[in-house]
Structure formats: structure tokens, C-alpha cells
Structure 1
Amino acid sequence: MLKYKILPVTPFMQNCTLLWCDQTHEAALVDPGGEPALLRKAVAEAGLTLTQLWLTHGHLDHVGAADELRQQTGCPIIGPHQADAFWFEALPAQSQMFGFPHQESFVPDRWLNEGDTLSLGQEQLQVLHCPGHTPGHVVFYSQAAKLALVGDVLFNGSIGRTDFPKGNHADLLDAINHKLLPLGDEVLFIPGHGPNSTLGHERVSNPFLSQPIW
């Protein structure tokens, strides 16, 4: 069974997710945006073995601790889609812009594509390429657990911003309406910020999704 714990980090209260297989105790940190000591402590206290670092997109508050954790643990950085490479190159400028500690640019060990599958212990998650907030944004979806980690694509009562470089509002709505919502109303999703929700709840109540999808 897939289990998780949400660990808010950075002044932006970004939802880093500690995700693990409860049969093997292998774990991944999804969007480790900062506070690496806190994240390593959470892994240790849960009695887990960290094996991977997964990124939904290249914004600093989602990736800020990834390279340091890679150096400390030897775990590979996986994701997002390569269309976000320019965001990783711009990490020094991002850190200066938002008043974060200086962050050197880095390159993930593996870029992801639509339809890729990630294994975590005995669990498997599907990769969905969901551009709009950023061009290389991906979502991680477990069909068995009915769980999606959606980064900044969709929120409880809102959707991702598209006013950043290479953001695209039409692409974002298309990804939500044609890739996320068809997964099923019962799917629980963990957003990049704020409380969890279900796709069904957002389908009927989210004011940003009330416009026609055609």
C-alpha cells in the first residue's frame, strides 16, 4: 500500500510529500523545496529508506533542497519533463528574486515523459505531462491508491498560475480537463500548496473549472 505524509517547507509553505511503500519501506520525497534537514529527519523518524527524489516542475520552492539531498543521500533526482530545463538553469536568479538562499543550477538525473512509469518498492505510479503552470510540469498518479500528486496544476478551489515565463492558461485547463478529471471523481490529490481535495469535489465546485472544456 502507498502511504504519504505532507511536510510543508519554505516560506511559501510548499507541500513536500514523503511517499512510501509500506511493504518495503522504500520512500521518495516529492518536491523537496527546502529545509533538507527537516526532510531527512522525517524520513528517519518514519523508519524509511529514501531511494528517490521526484520533482513535478522546476520552480525553486519545489526543487530547492533536491540537489543537496542528492549529494547527501546519493538518491537520484527524477523529473520533471525536459521542457522545464530553463527553470533549473535559472535557479540562481529565482533564489535572488524570491529572497531565498542562493541556489546553484543543477540537472535532474532523469527527465520524464507522458506515459512513463515510476516504481517505489512494490508500488507503481504513472507520469502525466500536464503543462500550463510550467511547460514541463508532470503529475504522479497511483491508480491502485487513487492518489495523484499534482504539484501546482490544481488546488483546492483554484488552479495554477500561468503568468510565469512560458506559462499557458489554455494548456493548463486542457491538462486538468482531459488528463486529471478523467482519472475519476474519487481520486484524492495532493497539491503543491494548501489542503488536499478530490477531483470530484473540484469538478463540481472549483470556480476556475466552470468554463466549457471545448
Structure 2
Amino acid sequence: MNRSEQIQQFTESIQQGLIESKSDMLSGLIREIAELKYQQQELSKQIEVYQRALSQRDALLPTLETDSANLSFPATKILIDAMYPLGKAEGFFDVEFDGQGRPYRWTGPGTSFQFSIFIPNTQAYTGKLSLFGSLKSENLKKICVYVNGIKQESHIDVSKDFALEFTIAKRSTIGTVSIVFMIPETAIPNDVQPGAQDARRLGVAFHALELVALESR
């Protein structure tokens, strides 16, 4: 049997197999296509989140430390909102939206959440942490902030949405600044709100962190 005849034989065999089992194969192919479509949609959502977050940033976040004489440029405002890709390592759950379409993320399951922010100069900044609330009111009264491991004086503004205001002092070097927030406790919605059907251990509802330069260089 020559090459052409062998190929024809294989072709007919495969075709016969498809005819005999086309129902199962088509079902499997449809399932696979559906799964690929789902993965594509999920990737599109993640890309949208990253693009929006990056478009809102005045500075990138590389791990960098250098002498201020070698690298410095102004960043009058740095904003990180709940759409920024924050995850478990930073102490956050997935992004959600309130009734007005505003994004937020619950912190948890631990009692701390953090940010590592590259500030491209040595200026002093005022910080404002905006929250939408907490299952435990004590969390809004006794939240603490640490900058590079040092506890900072802070002021709580409850005139509108809850906001914690603090200061980042002027620094001798340019580099990544660590900002850590600590709350007294977390709570499980199922235990606080009957019928909540949420077993996560939650802290506060984070909306945004804004840093504004106190002076221009």
C-alpha cells in the first residue's frame, strides 16, 4: 500500500470514528470552547483593571532607592483606589462596587493592610485614607498608620465618608515608602448580620489612598 492509499485509509478511519462518536466529541468541543470563552472574558476584565489602575497613577512602583541628587521629579498627587490590583499579600479581597457604582475592597482576613509606594522625590506628603465603613465601629475610631515602620499621628474626619489623614515626612533618599494600617479586629458578616451568607473575615471597606505633596520642588 503506497503513501496515498495509507493516508486515504487513515482519513476514512478517522471520518468513521467521527460519525460514530460525533455526539460526544461535539459536546466536548463545545465545552472546551465555552471554557476558553470564559477565560478570555476573565482575562479581559483583569486587563481592564490593570489599565485603569495604571492610568490613574502619577508614579510607578519599582523597588528603587537612590540618592536624591541623582533622580527626582515632582509628583504632586499619587492616587491608589480600589481598582488598583491589590491582593491577598497586601491584605485585600476582590474589588466590589457600592450602590453608586463606586469601587471598594474589603480588607482581611488579618487586621492589617499595606501599600508599598514609590515616591520619586523627597518631599513631604499628606495622606488621606478613604473608607466606606466597617462591620465593627471600633475599627474606624482606632485605626493606626505606620510609615516605614514608625507610627504616625493621624486625624479622623467623619464629616462625609470616613477619612484618616496623616503625614509622610520629608525623606533623605528617594525610594519605596511602606504604609501599613492596623485595625483592632475583623468580623464575619454571618455573625454580625443574620442571613448575610458571607463567611469571610472582614476589616474595613477600602476606597482610596491619596497622597498630596506639601511643597513643590
Task: Mark yes or no: TM-score above 0.5.
Answer: no
Of the two, which has the highest radius of gyration? Answer: 2
TM-score of the pair, normalised by structure 1? 0.24
Higher strand share: 2
- Structure with the bigger RCO (C-alpha within 8 Å, sep 6+) is 2
